[in-house]
Amino acid sequence: MNATLASSAARRAAAALRRHAGRPAARVVTGSIVGQGLVVAASPAITRLYGPADLGALAVVTALSSVVGAVAPLGWDRAIVVPRGETAARLLVASALVSVLVLSTAATVVAFLCREQLADLTGTQVLADAWWVCPVTVALVATQRVVTAWAARRRDYRGLARRNVLQGVGQVVCNLSLAPLGGSLGLVLGVAAGRLAALGGAAAGRGRSRRAAPVLRRGAMRAVIVRYRRFPLVSTWSSLVNVAGQQAPIVLLAAAHGSATLGGVALTLRVLGAPVGMVADAVGLQVEGQLGALVRARQGDLRGSVRRAVARLTVVAVVVAVLVAAVAPSVFPVVFGGAWAGSGAVASIMVPAFAAQVVVSPFSRLLPLLERQGTQLAWDLARFAATAGAIVVTGLAGTDLVVSLGVWSGASLLSYAVLLLLVDRAVTRHTADWPA
């Protein structure tokens, strides 16, 4: 009798989640499309106001800030969606914000003391002239990760959609309004401006909650830290290696070829990579919110839900990737100007990796939810070795930038295929003893 009731409850819960899954997901994805659509729409103007060297500097600053910003919450941000109790989740938010404050302060000191060395290593003079941009961006990137995790836990999809729109608005307004100053400052500062606007949008959501914040008693905080200690001990390094696997190749390319040669790569990252990242993030938030509810309740067809979602995303991603690869070489020079003709070929080379990212990366968020941090870390290390190794090996071989990008894209594609297999296996094992 109990088994029958449990099975019936599981079916009702899964059905309810399916009924309400589409609308929130569509809202967040729409916000991503609008926000990044503004960035893409402004790009023809940006490429005429800024030069390839300026966009190369943007790529380097974004890479450095993203890597450090991913580490600054010390993994507590990834734990926020896990606890069943609200008090534990709020204490994890507090732990994450304290970590951000400490690590951002440390980043400020390093950026000031090492400003000349960083500029010489990457060929990016803005790291010396405006050394403060990186630590400011780090603090905003890290804080946004914390606020986003909290919003995902509360299923505040309206706030998340607003975040995605305002991030694009803030970035574009900063890029265009500061362009008359000359140089790359308006571009690199736009990353921070977008994150600041996004924070305002996300924080404004669900202000109607009247639940008082818990008193941060030492015993309660200690208990939460001990219970979720694997997140800072393992997920911190996983976050570092995960983001480094995406961003370190940019820094390595700058060190090997100089940031001035990365203009085409930076433009591709702006008009393709950034929208892909936002869409993947939006889908990932849906995974944390809807599928995370199944994990916490230990009910529903989690494996089937994952496989169906992956199949739908794959169809869309493949169609879009083929289209972009076919038209980019002829369209980019027309839209962005003759000086950017090579960017179309760069886009065609990198688009398979972007397609794999949007299909697979959202579901990697299930690994922390299933407390498989070790699996996530192992994959992150392997992906980092593959992508960074691709750049190092091709650089040592003296190949040109196009060959390096091709090997990098192939290594990324293979890495995401492995990740999908790991997620499927983890879900299968975790749900083996769930009610039928």
Nearest to 433 by CA among 130, 1, 10: 10
Flag whether 17 is in a domain.
Answer: no
Report residue 403: phi and psi, to 5°. Answer: -65, -45
On whether residue 436 sits in a domain, the answer given is no
Average pLDDT along the chain: 82
Q: Rounded to 5 degrees, what are φ and ψ at 429?
A: -70, -40
**For 7, phi and psi rounded to 5 degrees?**
-65, -40
Per-residue pLDDT at 40: 82
Query: Does residue 64 belong to any structural domain of this protein?
Result: yes
Band of pLDDT at residue 18, cut at 50, 70 and 90: very low
The whole-angstrom separation of Cα 223 and Cα 119 is 44
pLDDT in tens, 193-250: 999 998 887 666 554 444 555 555 667 778 888 888 878 887 777 778 878 888 888 8
The answer to whether residue 9 is domain-embedded is no
**Per mean pLDDT, which range of 201-210, 319-328, 337-346 is the poorest?**
201-210
pLDDT over threshold 50, residue 34? yes
Report yes or no on 242 lying in a domain.
yes
Mean pLDDT value across residues 120-142:
91
Nearest to 423 by CA among 280, 305, 290, 314: 305
Do the domain assignments include residue 20? no
Residue (of 414, 355, 423) closest to 383 by Cα position? 414
Q: Is residue 103, in this structure, part of any structural domain at all?
A: yes
Query: Range of 365's domain?
Result: 25-206+216-430
What tens digit of pLDDT does each residue of 373-421 get? 788 888 888 998 999 899 999 988 888 888 988 999 999 999 999 999 9
Q: Residue 5: its pLDDT value, please?
A: 36
Q: Percent of the chain beyond pLDDT 70?
A: 89
Q: Measure the CA–CA gap between 62 and 190, rounded to whole angstroms.
A: 10
Number of domains into which the chain is organized: 1
Residue-level pLDDT at 216: 54
15 lies in some domain: no
Q: In the predicted model, what is the mean pLDDT of residues 3-11? A: 40
CA-wise closest residue to 144 among 61, 59, 72, 241 = 72
- Whole-angstrom distance, CA of residue 179 vs CA of residue 233: 43
